[in-house]
Structures are given as C-alpha cells and as structure tokens.
Structure 1
C-alpha cells in the first residue's frame, strides 16, 4: 500500500514537472438572464446541480432586471456575447435569428430527443426548419369562468363557439356580462383577438399575420372579426372595458357580474384573493370555431439561447440539454408557479396548473406567444388600439383594418 502511494506521488510529480495538467482544467460558462427573485433562486439551485454533475464547468450567471435586459441584449449580442442568454420564443427571437446572432442548436434537439420531450413548443422554437434555443417555461391562456353563474342560468361548459354564443344570450337575459375584460392597458383585448384568429385561421396564419406577411384587409382577417362580431354586436362584453384595468374585470367575474374571462393563468391568484375557490372558479380551452383548424394555444414561452459570439459553445450545449430535462424544468417551474414544457415533468398540485399542463402538452396546432410578443412593438401597439376600438365601435371595422394595413406596409419594410 505504502509503495503504491509513493508511486502515485512520484507519477504526479513527474506530470507536474513535465508540464502536463494533473487535474482537469476549470471551464467557464457565462450566462446572462433576467429572472425575478423566486425563479432566480431556483435557477441558482439548478446551476449548482449542473456544476455538481459537471465539476469541470463553472457557470457565471449575471442577472438583469427585465426592462434593462431588453436593451442590454441588443448590445451584448453585438459586442461581447455570453455563452447563454435568456429570451423568448416565436417571432420575438426571429430578429436575432435573422441577424445571425443566435446559434442553430438543432443538434442539441436531435441528440436529446427534444422533439418528443418538448413537442408542444417545437414549432415556436423553429425557423427555417431549425431550432434556435431551448424553452424552459410557459403558462396557459384560456377562459376562466364562474361556475356559480353557469349554474344560475343553466348553462353547460361550451365545446364550440356557437355553444358559447348561445350561452351568452342566457347570461345577457340574466343581466350578466357573458365575457368581461379590461382593455385600458390594451393587451387583454389582444388575447381575445389571438384566440378568435387562432380558432378561425390557425397557428401558421397567426404567425404570418404578426410577421407582416398578410394584409390586415385580407378576407381571412375579416373572417376572424365576423366571428368576433357575434360577441361584440349583441353587447355580450362588459360595456366599459376600455376604461378599466384587467384586475377590475377580474372583480366582475369574482362578484358574479360576469361569466367568462379570456386571460392568462397568472390571474388565478387575483380571482382567489377576491374569494373564489376551486369549487367556484373553472377553466376551459377557448371553444372551437372552425373544426378544420387544429387547436393552437396561447402560451408565452421563455427560452435560453446560445449567442453566435459564444466562446464556450460545447458546454453551453451541455447546459441547454440539461435545462430541457424533466427534473430541472420541474424545479424552476415550481418556483415560478408556471408550467414545465418537458412532457415528463411534474406539475404542482394545483388544478389550474394541471389543466394548463394537459392543455398545452396535447396541443396539436402550435403554441402562439401572444400578440405583443409575436408582432413588433409598434405594430403591436397600433393593433391593440384597433382591437380595443373594434370592441367599442364595431361599425368602424373597415377603417380600423385600413389603418392597421397602412401601419403594416410602413413597419415591415
């Protein structure tokens, strides 16, 4: 035993004298992100787990506030790129992909069977048939409804748009808003438009429209508004929606003054703070309008990318493969109160998260990112102003679409 120890020490000394590394060299992986406190703590735990599994790699995380990050990323992708960077899926990543600033990571997807594990989000990560990052969290949109109000008027949960509109007549007769929303901040109206359009024309059309490839005066856009008119023209939407915020509309649902609300899952906390319980609050997918259109859903998706200027690409790809796995996605989403994308992940014991996970994991038609993520900022603002005006003045539709079309021609040059 003693002689073998001496031999080992001698071998180590010879290695050092010869200039050969006796231990593996530490490699640095730089990561720029924009996490809130709870998910930041979770990600730091995931990084620690990754480093324990890969002791040669030191992950250096630099965290920015959300607004600062939006400016910073445009600078650091050009000047001094990290090895990993947070961003968003869909058309929000397209400018960086088209500018050659995000790296193609299709090999990571193929080597780790991510097309199966992350199937629901693959379309939103794909441009020109290639994948440009890895998604780690999203949350569902859909319709939240007051079960007591449904029981009060004898309405069943609708499967189709026609069923939904038939219910609206019952609610109106009872003096209840069929659909509430608060569009003072504009974006809630975009959620309604997106679902009307996704159910009428499908995911690819939504992506083409928000990418400026389709005229706003196109007959297919008008078909979306024709379905929306069935809700707006009879007065089935909260009348003063343009003057109230989304939380004010949430109060109407809580109070039983409204039956339905198209909203994201983050609103559940507000509903429950108002006094609703799992017994009184329901969730459903937005009903089918065109049965020939595969069901697509709205689920803003956060992602991690490898900038083209990354210095440690090999380890960056190892980290992307790690964050795509079920365990890390379970851990960070538990902290965020959101949904993992890996279909093998576990979801918190919450009926709305469970319903959202089932909804999104089985979505055949694609995951949209929400209008103001999928469209450029200027087009998003003009579009959302148009949606708000339409719900107040449906007779102005032609003028609204002409205005949006002029904006499209200017913005997407």
Structure 2
C-alpha cells in the first residue's frame, strides 16, 4: 500500500519535501549515501542457505508483522533462513536507485505499475515470468497487468493493496436518507442536498500536495478511460488535449462542493471532519479509517467514484499495490524465488493484515473470514475491476509528478478559471521530461 500507515507504504503520506526527494530518487537522481544489502549483495555468491530481504516497513507494528510473515517461511523452506535488511521507509525510497545498481538484497520491497517498470526497463530487476507461470492463479488479470513490464514480462509479486473511493459514514446517510450516486449528475444532486443540510459535501485537503492527484485520476479515467489515463501520465498524450480540459471543467463543476481552504489543510484534518459528521463524503484511500476511533470504524463505508462516461463506466479502480521484486543478479536466486512464491500465497498476506487492517491481500484466494465488512467491500471492488491504477505519483515520471502535476493542481485549485494557463504549463514541462 503505498502510503497510509508507514507500514503499508502509501507514498502520499510523507511530508511534501520528503516526497519530492523520494520521487527524484526514483527518477534516477542520485541520493547521498547507500542502501546497503546485508546478505552479501547481488551476484556475490552468497550463502545458498540464506536469502536476504530488503524491507521498507520500518514502523514497529508493520515491521514486526512482515518479520513474522517472513520468518514463518523459514519453517517450511527446507532449511533456508532469511536475513532481513530493514531501512527507514523514506530513506529506502530515496536510495532505491543506487541500491539497485549496487548489491541489493535477493528480494526487495517496491511498488507495482510505472515505478516497477521504471527499474525493469533499466534491467535492474529480475525477470519473474517463469515464477508467474506457477503463481498466476493467485492473482486477477488486473494485478498481473500491474506486475508486467513494457516488454511483456513480469517483474513483481503483489503482496497487499488498498482502494480509493468516496468514503462516508453510514449512520449519517441513513439518518438523512442519502443514496449512493451512480452518475455524476446524481453526485452533484447529492452534494447540493448535503450543502442545504448544513454539511460540507466533500471533505478536501491539499496542503501536502498529493491528495488532489487522486481527484484528477478518478475524473480522468471516468471521463477518458484507462488507456488514455495511463498514456497521458506516460507522456504519450498532450496535457492541452480537449479531453484533459474536460477533466478540469468537470472538476470545476464539483469544486464548490469541496471543503474550503484546502491548501491550508492536511488530509488527516479533512478525515476528522468526516469522522465528526461535519462532512458527508471524502474522496481518499481506505487509510482514511486511521482517523476513526475503533468504535466508529464499523460506521465507515465507501462507493467507487460514479460513472461519467458510459463508455468506460466504473471499470477502473485506483488501488495502489505494494509487493516485492527480485534482484537482477541475486546471490541466492533459487532461495529468492522460493521466498517470492511464498509471499504470493494467502498465509503471509493475511498474517500481515492483522497489523494493517486498512489494506487487503492481493491473493484472490485469501480467506476473507477475518476481514471487516469494509475490507470485504474493498477486496470485491478491486477483484471486479477491469483495470487498476496506482495513483498519479506512481503512474508517471517522478519528476513530472513532483513539479508539474503538483504545482499545476495547486494552481488550478487556487484559480479554477485559469485552467488554460495551468494546462499549458503542464504540457510544456511534459514535453521536456518525456523526450
């Protein structure tokens, strides 16, 4: 997951400057210092009985959870042991480029989609296509797609993920007779009613720079479809295209229903207004539940962002995926592949989720008996998706996300009437970055 609890790795939850450093590091900008492997490193002829594991879950609860899951592997591995190399989450991401070019651990944590493909395209990670021949049945087609490089080979094993959607409190909606909107017009009508009822229709925060990226993503793939969305973020489409303009015009229609002064508010504060029953809805990831006390969590529900263009319906879901890659030349290739095969199974994923109940297992055979109703709904929504996106700052060039996208969205929120200038600026920067 990427950035809810630091343990589940949702990128957007770090401070703004930290996120920029992370993105630039991922883009290939050298970071100072090195993320050293602790098991002898790539291609060094390490101990055939030891597998080294690069871990980015540094907060104590998720660290303990992934440690327990990995250590359970030792008991069924036929004599293998795992040496875990844990680095502070932010530092891990800052140094990943140098790490992969040096002597990385045999198996290492990372993210699916563009961020995985970025390093696979450079030949810095191992081909897992043969392994996928064995584990493919554990995953949906959408998850396989998110684990596949531009050459059609697989380089990633999914572990956990979470979904974005419109979150709300069931008790508030029941009390006021609100119904889940199926279309954009119904969403506008609902927001209008909420405003008349004295609620903030849509909680919103943009101080940290990234939350608005989620709003853009939902609107773009609902209006223009999955393929245009990923092509735009990959620099293959023009930000001044009329289809992008339609996205911002639609967003402009919704902005009056958003919480005011978003640029001075952090996502946690906006989530608290939902918890306090001051807001009616919040477009965010499932980690919104972190701001709810245990007694209120059962009252939290969500629905996928409603349909805008019938051609695309609601076939795309934003569900960032966290998982693991193999080093290009692992010291223990056989052991690393065995560990990855194990991590693809339901057992370690469910064990991990006991510590992070805002995420769900990626293995589609995982027993959901221990899931909360919200987790079950997240899992079903992801399972039924035709396409899965990772979030804007994971689906595009890190340099574009950290500068052009962040600044452009902030400028649009400040002055929605200035969209033509905003899109020209984003288009100009895209041309320089995607050469």
Q: Which band: TM-score by shorter chain? A: 0.7 to 0.9
1:404 Cα deviation after fit: 0.5
Cross-structure match for 1:150: 173
Instruction: Indicate if the aligned counterparts of 1:77 and 1:309 stay in contact, CA closer than 8 A.
Output: no
Deviation digits for residues 93-127 of structure 1, max 9, x if unmatched?
1221111001121111112334x534441111112
Aligned to 1:30: 52
Partner residue in 1 for 2:401 = 380
CA distance in 2, matches of 1:171, 1:149: 11
Q: For residue 162 of structure 1, what is the aligned residue in structure 2?
A: 185
Q: C-alpha separation between the residues in 2 aligned to 1:185 and 1:81?
A: 31
Which of 178, 197, 212 is 2:235 aligned to?
A: 212
Give the alignment of 1:193-208 within 5 angstroms.
Answer: 193-208=216-231
* Distance in 1 between residues matched to 2:174 and 2:65, nearest whole Å: 41
Single out whichever of 296-305 and 383-392 deviates more from structure 2.
383-392
Task: Describe the shift of the 1:69–1:386 C-alpha distance in structure 2 as closer, same or farther (beyond 3 A).
Answer: same
Aligned residue runs from structure 1 range 246-265, under 5 A: 246-265=267-286
1:237 correspondence with 2:253: no
Out of 86, 94, 100, the residue aligned to residue 123 of structure 2 is: 100
The answer for the alignment partner of 1:7 in structure 2 is none
CA shift in 2, pair 1:406/1:129, >3 Å? same
Counterpart-to-counterpart distance in 2, 1:205 and 1:316: 36
- Larger mean Cα displacement after TM superposition, 341-350 or 83-92: 341-350
Pairing partner for 2:355 from 320, 332, 335: 335
Q: In structure 2, do the counterparts of structure 1 residues 305 and 223 end up closer, same or farther at CA, with 3 Å as the change threshold? A: same
1:298 to 318, 324, 344: 318
Q: Is contact 1:26-1:56 (8 Å) kept?
A: no
- Unaligned ranges ≥5, structure 2: 1-46
CA distance in 2 between partners of 1:285 and 1:265 (Å): 12
Match of residue 42, structure 1, among 57, 61, 65: 65
**Residue number in structure 2 paired with 1:391:** 413
Q: Give how far 1:308 is off.
A: 0.9
Deviation string 1:329-377 (CA, Å, 9 cap, x unpaired) is 211222222210001113433222121111112211x221111122233
- Secondary structure of residue in 2 paired with 1:345: coil
**Structure 1 residue ranges without an equivalent (≥5):** 1-24
Give the alignment of 1:73-152 within 5 angstroms: 73-114=96-137, 117-127=139-149, 128-151=151-174
Alignment match, 2:385: 363
Determine the C-alpha separation between the residues in 1 that align with 2:405 and 2:197.
Answer: 33
- Counterpart CA distance in 2 for 1:335 and 1:405 is 42
Between the aligned partners of 2:307 and 2:271, the Cα distance in structure 1 is 24
Comparing 140-149 with 91-100, greater Cα deviation is found at: 140-149
1:165-190 Cα shifts (integer Å, max 9, x gaps): 11122122233222111111121111
Structure 1 residue 149 displacement after superposition: 4.2
Contact 1:161–1:289 (8 Å) recurs in 2: yes
Pick the structure with greater CA Rg: 1
The residue number in structure 1 matching 2:11 is none
- Which SS does the other structure have where 1:289 is aligned? coil
Task: Answer yes or no: is the 8 Å Cα contact 2:268–2:291 preserved in 1.
Answer: yes
| TM-aligned CA distance change 1:257 to 1:52, over 3 Å | closer
Structure 1 residues 153 and 26: CA distance shift in structure 2, 3 A: closer
The answer (yes or no) to whether the contact 2:48–2:335 under 8 Å persists in 1 is: no
Secondary structure of 1:164's partner? helix
Distance in structure 2 (CA, Å) of the matches to 1:268 and 1:320: 30
Aligned with residue 344 of structure 2, among 324, 338, 345: 324
Does the CA-based 8 Å contact 2:117-2:148 persist in structure 1? no
Note the 1:284-295 alignment, pairs <5 A. 284-293=303-312, 295=315
Equivalent position of 1:4 in the other structure: none
Q: Which residue of 2 aligns with 1:349?
A: 371
- Separation in 2, partners of 1:261, 1:395: 24
156-165 or 376-385: bigger deviation: 376-385
How much does 1:306 deviate?
A: 0.8
Please give the TM-score of this superposition, normalised by the length of structure 2: 0.83
Aligned mate of 1:65, from 72, 84, 88: 88
- The alpha carbon displacement at 1:220 in A equals 2.0
Aligned partners of 2:394, 2:152: CA distance in 1, in Å?
Answer: 21
Residues 204 and 270 of structure 2 are in contact (CA less than 8 Å); yes or no, is this contact kept in structure 1?
yes
Preserved contact between residue 116 and residue 156 of structure 2 (Cα < 8 Å): no
Name the CA distance, whole Å, in 2 between partners of 1:230 and 1:394: 10
Q: Would the alpha carbon gap of residues 168 and 197 (structure 1) be closer, same or farther in structure 2, given more than 3 Å must change?
A: same
